[in-house]
A and B are shown apart, each in its own frame.
Chain A
């Protein structure tokens, strides 16, 4: 088997090197050397080898005989600024959803070639769900999805009632005082605020969808509209709602939430599905079983995707995307990163079966209950040879990793993609965020400031007073001698 794959790899490399020669002879590319690929990705966002993981970059370099210059960024905005400063510095970057939209809108990215779109490995194996989502929003031509997921709550079922978290507003509750955290990130927290503000409207839509008044597409459209509202009223209400939430929170977090869940400092964490999987895995190692839930009103579908900045070495960039989209490489990435790849295919499905499947139809779980079907056809259909892409798991497992990694189809009807907000809305939302973080100011802070100001005034006055008094007053009958000036 190993030998076979090596032969295949050599053959592929040979074929590719021939095609490279062809490329060189007829090539008139202006940008740099065409066998260097400059990739700009999130930190820790590709399988890098070591510990039994696959070194994907090394594999790509060897297979195609090229050099990859790999660098990483920490936030979308850093990446964006870097691109603004050196526009032609990278061939392939991996921003998040809203940043991709912004970059497309600002005409910063190159379109994919027709060949890539028609018959590339990526187009063959990318999940039909992701493909639809991209086509519907008009991103297909410019962006290739890499990882995706939802947002929800990770919680400890021993201390938290699942019932409470069926709604996003479940953490606005003194029952969980100092037990929950949300993200220290404007966009994610704004989403939470909006979901809490429009709770009733969202529930009404849900009822309409349940009775069949709305089709799944209409339902999704309406939810997307609500979750992307940025009018003044919405911002103001979201602000008040989040300031109100602060009294119940343990705090905000960037990265510490996962660890704090595991050590038990907190029992509810507003998290991305990929981080949720990580927390659940790690906690299991120390004997704690955590769950993940996507509240009933709505959720956020997020994704990170590859785009080629203007002037990129598009040929090699497309090859790299196709390389990463081979299901076996997607599996390597999922193993390493822990997030869910946008790529489907049998290799991915089989890996998931290996991870999560607890039996077949009709089997019983440990407690003697029949296994339930977790239907993933929406994601895997037509990317491989299986007729039915489902995983049979126990009912409890649906609260755990498998559902965080692949939500069930009905969750997706109520999941909205958050759009890029224009500059004005962005400024207003940032201002809102500052106020949330800065308020309320405790009364003692005013007292301290007043005391300090009073002290300064007193000291200043005493100087002035002293200065006056120290001037010797001439006694009656004496004249003040004028000292030389």
Chain B
């Protein structure tokens, strides 16, 4: 019996298979659908029609604009809420701080559809449901994605070497200067990571917008769903998916999400 020996290369096979089956092939399929359509004689033809249609349709552009707005506001709110919290938690020497951190992360362990349904009843109790559709949706998004902002911020902030801050104060910086010149720049990888984690799903998570706005608000994810399930137009649905993908890609490029800077991003970048 010959001993079967694993080499590193063989260990890669399952991942390669996974990538090909669940990432590469589906992507190619989406690309294929996005740029094809039914020609005049009913045959499959290559077309830019879906692309042109998207950017000439007021309905789709207004959906894009609304998704953007909701995602931007939700992300900004998440950042504003999460940063001080992560900062305080990371800087404090309190022994039980992990308990507090866990409390903020814990909602993630409960199914989010359940949480959103519960939130709907809560908003009804307060009297917002059915009246403030945009506010409700944003509340839902922030509620849902806050942990995704807290975690990367906390990990980055905690990893900042205290001696940098001490050095800064030694050199005469007051607390504000230390924060703006040292702490914040050093926490940028966490900020960017958090933004990408919140911004992307806020543009597509239509369970939140549907449930909390009583279907009054349409975001891009919902549009994609409608094209696939009710309008029965997979080509347009794929095109919208591709456009969304490009938008996210560009945002990540701009914010430097792809930057592989080992010194800055040590473990903080969840990506």
Which residues of A come within 8 Å of B, CB atoms? 74-75, 77-78, 80-81, 178, 181, 184-186, 246, 249-254, 256, 265, 426-427, 430-431, 434-435, 437-439, 441-442, 445-446, 448-449, 452
Contact = CB atoms under 8 A, between A and B. Distances in A.
B223 interface: yes
B184 interface: no
B205 interface: no
B270 interface: no
A434 B218 CA distance: 8
A297 B55 CA distance: 39
A186 B226 CA distance: 10
B65 A441 contact: yes
Contacts of B131: 178
Nearest to A78: B229
- Per DSSP, chain A at the interface is helix
A439 B229 contact: no
Interface of B is mostly: helix
Interface of B: 57-60, 62-63, 65-66, 68-69, 72-73, 124, 129-131, 133-134, 210, 213-216, 218, 223, 226, 229-233
Q: Which 8 A-B pairs have the closest CB atoms?
A: A251-B214, A434-B59, A252-B215, A435-B59, A77-B232, A437-B218, A445-B69, A438-B62
Contacts of B62: 435, 438-439, 441
A254 B65 CA distance: 25
B232 A81 contact: yes
A291 to B, nearest CB: 22
Contacts of A184: 210, 215
A442 B66 CA distance: 9
Given A178-B130, A435-B59, A445 B65 contact: yes
A430 to B, nearest CB: 5
23 contacts: A74-B229, A75-B230, A77-B229, A78-B229, A81-B232, A178-B130, A178-B131, A184-B210, A184-B215, A246-B216, A250-B130, A251-B213, A251-B215, A252-B215, A252-B216, A254-B215, A431-B57, A434-B63, A435-B59, A437-B216, A441-B62, A449-B69, A449-B72
A442 B70 CA distance: 12
A184 to B, nearest CB: 5
A80 B232 contact: yes
Given A251-B213, A254-B215, A437-B218, A431 B68 contact: no
A319 B51 CA distance: 49
A387 B263 CA distance: 91
Contact of A265 (B58, B130, B218, B226): B130
Contacts of B73: 448
B137 to A, nearest CB: 12
Contact of A434 (B57, B72, B229): B57
B214 A441 contact: no
B252 to A, nearest CB: 15
A114 to B, nearest CB: 34
A252 B72 contact: no
A349 B65 CA distance: 55
A438 B130 contact: no
Nearest to A186: B230
A448 B63 contact: no
A442 B216 CA distance: 13
B230 A185 contact: yes
A253 B59 contact: no
A435 B58 contact: yes
B115 to A, nearest CB: 16
A135 B207 CA distance: 43
Given A448-B72, A449-B69, A438 B63 contact: yes
A448 B69 contact: yes
Contacts of B215: 184, 251-254, 437
A452 B72 contact: yes
B218 A441 contact: no
A437 B133 CA distance: 13
Contacts of B213: 251
Nearest to B227: A430
Contacts of B214: 181, 249-253, 256
A441 B66 contact: yes
A265 B59 contact: no
B226 to A, nearest CB: 8
A427 B231 CA distance: 8
Given A252-B215, A438-B218, A431 B229 contact: no
B63 A449 contact: no
A14 B179 CA distance: 87
Contacts of B124: 265
Nearest to B69: A445
A162 to B, nearest CB: 23
Contact of B59 (A77, A81, A438): A438
Contacts of B58: 435
A478 B191 CA distance: 44
A75 B66 contact: no
Contacts of B226: 430, 434
B134 A442 contact: yes
A435 B65 CA distance: 13
A327 to B, nearest CB: 35
A77 B72 contact: no
A297 B64 CA distance: 38
A445 B229 CA distance: 28
A74 B225 CA distance: 13
Contacts of B57: 431, 434
Contacts of A435: 58-59, 62
> Which of the listed residues B73, B129, B131, B231 has the most CB atoms from chain A within 10 Å of its own CB?
B231
Contacts of B231: 77, 186, 426, 430
Given A252-B215, A252-B216, A445 B59 contact: no
